[in-house]
Amino acid sequence: MGVNGYGTIGKRVADAVAAQPDMEVAGVAKTQPNFEAHTAVDLGYPMYAAIPERAPLFAEAGIETAGAVDELVADADVMVDCTPSGIGAENKTMYASYDTPATFQGGEDATVAETSFNARANYDDARGADTVRVVSCNTTGLSRLVAPLSEAYGVETVRATLVRRGGDPTQDSRGPINDILPDPISIPSHHGPDVQTIFPDLSIETMGLKVPATLMHVHALNVTLESDVTAAHVRQLLENQSRVYVIPEGFGLDGAGTLKDFALDAGRPRGDIWENCVWGESIAVEGRDLYLFEAIHQESDVIPENVDAIRAITDAADAAESIERTNRTLGVGLAGDPTGFDSAEPVEADD
Amino acid sequence: MGVNGYGTIGKRVADAVAAQPDMEVAGVAKTQPNFEAHTAVDLGYPMYAAIPERAPLFAEAGIETAGAVDELVADADVMVDCTPSGIGAENKTMYASYDTPATFQGGEDATVAETSFNARANYDDARGADTVRVVSCNTTGLSRLVAPLSEAYGVETVRATLVRRGGDPTQDSRGPINDILPDPISIPSHHGPDVQTIFPDLSIETMGLKVPATLMHVHALNVTLESDVTAAHVRQLLENQSRVYVIPEGFGLDGAGTLKDFALDAGRPRGDIWENCVWGESIAVEGRDLYLFEAIHQESDVIPENVDAIRAITDAADAAESIERTNRTLGVGLAGDPTGFDSAEPVEADD
């Protein structure tokens, strides 16, 4: 498996793949020899120059390259494209020219791939496909809730307000500072239609805002269900989802800052939080209307999905097998999660 | 008219009352001789010691006091209580002991007064009352939308996500920094029930969050109406509301920062924005579901309501007269508002 684009998502995908007993990192491709490139070398990932003419820059920085990115594409069974939005689409012909199946990230248009992908919702659509698009962090977060709610109760309409972090911790040129921006001002935001790439018939309206925070997104969610439910029943349903963490009362996890601290305390790599974090005490039901808050870690919630997308595209396992293996290997599930793994557990290669 | 509590709200109420041809500021009461006290002296407001034992502190600071607060209460026709949440309720017996009608702010429990108050929604409930509570900034903002929507279309359910500023610009000990906090985590927030003090039969669910911003709140609103409408019709309805500013496309008003700059450019006192600021291009309708974004200036949207509450409690004018006089005198309505006044216009005392 090769990773093209070794930034926020790419470096996490490489590490997650390296942890899988049934996968191997053939190499990673990068445009520039920055700090992440040095870490990749330390981790032993063969480094390829994403822009061949820039290979000398890597040599100057003391980083040996194994070749140009097309050599990696030729060698790899699957390419995971983790380049910035829009570059993935440009890379598509390169992957096709080597007959290498490829997965793309949610920043690309849905048309980049045969299918958009969320492991919980539509794994089978991606089995044996040549191209798959793993949807964005927010769309992944919404899909993980829509799938079980839809199966258990039927969903009439989803209304989501996405209070989005302005940028990631490393994106120091982004804002806002001290402002609350409807973004986009027009309704719906692109998120609703993006969720419909996973659930084509879903009625969903999304409103997006940006605020001066970098750690996680927070969603304020209303779902009108097709049947009467209780908050307790919904809570149990969500607790049974392996990639949904229902934050227990009394843990003092009042926002993104404490959630990230909790993940770092738990020894999570980079403090990543792969799960939707739904505040248990926020789950409220009024008639057929469900309300809740959840936090989404924009840098990492798609990582287990990327691993599963590789298994789907290579038809290496069915959904349940893949999800279980990914979860166990990474250690998905924080303290207090009934479906969680206490920590990453080794899995036999022939598992 | 006397103002008890000369802070964020009190100082604005005093200035707004001073601008009314049919009202006079008998004095203001304050607990400490800080910068606001010095400004009050410069403006010529008689200063009363809210805590009589602290009168010497005012003398030491070179501020002459006209007496203790109960002397102001005895003299004034109406007291406007602008003290911090909870103190208003403690002051209630003092006002009653002098038979002085009093208005309170939205930080007090609804039980503090005979009625809660929003000029657009229920002015008449306050006419001739002894005690009136002007609802909070967020509740005022929501009420100003619910009233016309309810009259024009009928309202089935309001669902509002309130993305709240963490504190006012002066509240430098408040947070959050770099976080997005559901606040309260449990649903509904207190805002929904508070709107029901104005609209007792309204179905409303509110979800509150706090973010690292100080300038304004932003509401993401969904209203399920009782009849089919178009976005254009709703827009026109809102444009016709004198305290709703529908932000025109092309003005570049993308958030709270630009809105405040716009208000300062317009020469508004303290850069205040008395109107709900609804983004015109956000107004969207899907079936009977209306969606929109609005910004609410927490320090000032209740100021015109406080002025109207004084007229209601003294039965000095009916709703339409009072609202029109307040709007004209303050200069409510920013550029591009069809119902607006270009600037504060003098009104004859016998108007």
Q: List, for residues A254-279, the tens digit of each pLDDT value.
A: 999 999 999 999 999 999 999 999 99
- Contact across the interface for B292 and A214, Cβ inside 8 Å: no
Q: Is residue A116 part of a domain?
A: yes
Check whether residue B145 and residue B54 sit in a common domain.
Answer: no
Domain limits for position B306: 2-135+302-330
Check whether residue B130 and residue B214 sit in a common domain.
Answer: no
Beta bridge partners of B277: B245, B295
Q: Is residue B141 part of a domain?
A: yes
To the nearest whole Å, the CA of A265 is away from the closest chain B CA by: 18
- Contact across the interface for B182 and A222, Cβ inside 8 Å: no
Task: Say if residue A47's pLDDT is above 70.
Answer: yes
User: Strand, helix or coil at B211?
Assistant: strand
Amino acid at A349: A
- Contact across the interface for A182 and B220, Cβ inside 8 Å: yes
User: Strand, helix or coil at B5?
Assistant: coil
Residues in chain B with CB shorter than 8 Å from the CB of A217 are 180
Check whether residue A243 and residue A318 sit in a common domain.
Answer: no
Rounded to whole angstroms, the Cα distance separating B48 from B45 reads 9
Rounded to whole angstroms, the Cα distance separating B146 from B154 reads 9
Nearest to A159 among B182, B222, B281 (CB): B222
Residue closest to B20 by CA, chosen among B336, B274, B321: B321
Q: What is the mean pLDDT of residues A64-92?
A: 98
Check whether residue A131 and residue A142 sit in a common domain.
Answer: no
Check whether residue B24 and residue B75 sit in a common domain.
Answer: yes
Q: Is residue A347 part of a domain?
A: no
Check whether residue B149 and residue B276 sit in a common domain.
Answer: yes
Check whether residue B145 and residue B288 sit in a common domain.
Answer: yes
Beta bridge partners of A29: A4, A48
ipTM of the complex: 0.90
Q: Please confirm, yes or no, whether B137 is among the known catalytic residues.
A: yes
Q: Is residue A171 part of a domain?
A: yes
Q: Is residue A344 part of a domain?
A: no
Residues in chain B with CB shorter than 8 Å from the CB of A163 are 161, 163, 180, 209, 211
Check whether residue B142 and residue B169 sit in a common domain.
Answer: yes
B342 band by pLDDT with thresholds 50, 70 and 90:
low
Instruction: Report residue A301 as tokens.
Output: 């919630």
Q: What is B33-85 written as a DSSP string? A: -SHHHHHHHHHTPPEEESSGGGHHHHHHTT----EEHHHHHHH-S-EEE-PST
Domain edge (last residue) among B296, B316, B338: B296
Rounded to whole angstroms, the Cα distance separating B96 from B112 reads 12
pLDDT in tens, B268-319: 999 999 999 999 999 999 999 999 999 999 999 999 999 999 999 999 999 9
B155 band by pLDDT with thresholds 50, 70 and 90:
very high
Amino acid at A339: T
pLDDT in tens, A173-192: 999 999 999 999 999 999 99
CATH number of the domain that residue A37 is part of: 3.40.50.720
Q: What is the mean pLDDT of residues B66-82?
A: 98
Check whether residue A56 and residue A80 sit in a common domain.
Answer: yes
User: Strand, helix or coil at A159?
Assistant: strand
Q: Which of A126, A137, A221, A247 is catalytic?
A: A137
pLDDT in tens, B87-109: 999 999 999 999 999 999 999 99
Q: Is residue B350 part of a domain?
A: no
CATH number of the domain that residue B270 is part of: 3.30.360.10
Number of domains making up chain A: 2
Rounded to whole angstroms, the Cα distance separating A289 from A146 reads 14
Check whether residue B108 and residue B180 sit in a common domain.
Answer: no
At residue A102, the pLDDT reads: 98
Check whether residue A28 and residue A163 sit in a common domain.
Answer: no
Task: Say if residue B73's pLDDT is above 60.
Answer: yes
Q: Is residue B348 part of a domain?
A: no
Task: Say if residue B226's pLDDT is above 80.
Answer: yes
Residue closest to A104 by CA, chosen among A122, A118, A124, A83: A83
Check whether residue B8 and residue B103 sit in a common domain.
Answer: yes
Collect all residues with Cβ–Cβ distance below 8 Å to A82 and sequence separation of at least 6: A3, A4, A5, A6, A7, A9, A10, A13, A105
- Contact across the interface for B293 and A207, Cβ inside 8 Å: yes
Q: Is residue A218 part of a domain?
A: yes
CA R_g for chain A = 20
pLDDT in tens, A204-225: 999 999 999 999 999 999 999 9
